[in-house]
Amino acid sequence: MINNFPLKKLVLVAGLCLPVFTYAQEAPKTKPNWQNLDLKTDSVFGISTEKAYNELLKGKKHVTVLVAVIDGGIDVEHEDLKKVIWNNPKETAANKKDDDKNGYADDVHGWDFIGSAKGDVHYDNLELTRLVRINNTRFANVDSTKLTGKDLADFKAYSAMKADMDKQVAKAQQTYTVINKFNTLLDGVLAKLGNQNPSLDDITKFEPKDNGEAYVKRVLVSALPSFKNVAEFREKEVNGGLTHFKEQLDYHLNLNFNSRDTVGDNYNNANERFYGNNDVTGPDADHGTHVAGIIGAIRDNNLGVMGVANDVAIMSVRTVPTGDERDKDVANAIRYAAANGAKVINMSFGKSYSYNKKAVDDAVKFALNKDVLLVHAAGNDNNNTEVELNVPNRIYEDKSGVAGAWIEVGASGPKDDETLKASFSNYGKTSVDVFAPGVAINSTTPKSAYAEHDGTSMAAPVVTGLAALIRSYYPKLTAVQVKEIIMKSVVKISHNVEIKDGETKKEVPFTDLCVTGGVVNAYNALQLAATY
């Protein structure tokens, strides 16, 4: 699942039934392109990309590296991406023929596994919802006291999932209600001010008549330093929250909603490969376009932003809806990317449940046999993924081992202090490999626009861009070697960092958060690559 709404800023206050909005690490004021800057020179904890270009790469030969972005779609016409979008050399555009005989007609820039001639899937359930729906039918009229063995185990698992879903539905309903209540109070305050977009001075001078108005005033005074004005705060936080939780209730957690008819495949056949369409942008390409820009936005065109890698072709494999991606589609997306020449695959998505992990694992094995490096975002729930499941992951379900050329990425912030771990980022001493910049990252968004987003979804493409950069300048290196180089060349963190455990904050060694105990560094990695 991909999600740009900053839920960590919304916390319910017991008794008041009002949301608390907090603005700290999630909206720092950072330097442009900070993820590519150098800690010593620029005083932000970037990965020293610019230093590497200036001191190590000038005049060096490089080759184009094909990078697949498995995501919600990419705006292939974006001004800062158009020249780096992959053009399938064996396919003739718009002739409705499969010229290269790969099973996908007109796949000029990639493929869409969640669409068909009927259109494209925009919304889908959580995997949890789909599993509960399947098992509702299985256990509808069953006397659980008579179950034994696997049936009993399956029933207990189903009961736990049903309880989890009921809890999420209740939380979404409650949160939607309280944000709506805040919205109504905000309407009242703005009406009294006679201005839908008042200044901070107007708000400061406002004299509230009751507790609700006083609360709105406190929130606005606290929020405005993080936003351009009240209108932006309202659009992003209040309207964004209402939209997010309504989507949860209408689609993600709605047992009666099922979008799969739009695709038209035989969903129960995990071996089915050839379905979908060639619309690699889809109805909402914000997330995938942002990811693509971090990896390879054109560096020398005096437009927008600069990607990490300077010589890539970006393949869009549309697989992730607003909701949870499906294992069958993820498996086919990995296979498509690997079969069509991708050398690095970015996967900025994840979920807490899996329907058919074996299908994904088999596709990962296929990709590894093609010498592909897979880069995956660790997730944004501030969870320890050694305890809480986040899939896909590198551990094969059949216990046959782990994926070697797989890098799991957590998100770091710009300051070399206790806030270095992004507050939202998942972590894991053995389940996450490295950290990379993922807070307030400015990148490309649809219609040739630009925006800042937070997330391990942003940290993963920083690492993907680095992997592509290494493979571009040192093309003889294998995927496993590139992973080894990235992990060996991190900047080790010697100080403690802050993590939040429930409502309690504590400081832990960075070595407790990931395998390497460090943040990736392009300069160090390229120096090391030169020795291989």
Catalytic residues: 71, 287, 457
**Contact status, residue 316 vs residue 288, Cβ threshold 8 Å:** yes
Residue 3's contacts (CB-CB under 8 Å, 6 or more residues apart) are 244, 380, 455
Nearest to 29 by CA among 225, 211, 291: 225
φ/ψ (deg, to 5) at 335: -65, -45
Q: Say which amino acid occupies 229.
A: N
Backbone angles phi, psi at 345, to 5 degrees: -120, 125
Q: How far is CA 263 from the centre of its chain?
A: 23
Cα-Cα-Cα-Cα dihedral sign, residues 452, 454, 458, 462: positive
Long-range contacts: 202-205, Cβ < 8 Å, 24+? 203/230
Non-local CB neighbours of 53 within 8 Å, separated by 6+ positions: 310
Q: Furthest-apart CA pair in the chain: how many Å?
A: 74
Tell the burial category of 191 from Cβ atoms under 10 Å away from its Cβ (0-12, 13-18, 19+): exposed
Residue that has been written with the tokens 């990425």 in this structure: 409
**Burial class, 311, CB count within 10 angstroms (exposed 0-12 / middle 13-18 / buried 19+):** middle
Please state whether the peptide bond connecting residue 392 to the residue before it is cis, i.e. omega within 30 degrees of 0: yes
β-pairing, 344-347 with 406-412?
A: unpaired
The strand pairing partners of 453, in sequence order, are 441
Secondary structure class of 211 (helix, strand, coil): helix
- Mapped onto helix, strand or coil, the DSSP state of residue 65 is strand
Measured distance CA(206)–CA(196) in Å, rounded: 14
User: Of 374, 380, 379, 401, which Cα lies nearest the Cα of 486?
Assistant: 374
User: What number of helices (H) and strands (E) belong to the chain?
Assistant: 14, 17
d(CA 418, CA 402): 32
Give the residue carrying structure tokens 């094995």.
365
Residue 376 phi/psi, 5-degree rounding, is -130, 140
SS3 per residue for 136-164: HHHCCCCCHHHCCHHHHHHHHHHHHHHHH
Asked if residues 305 and 443 have their Cβ atoms less than 8 Å apart, the reply is yes
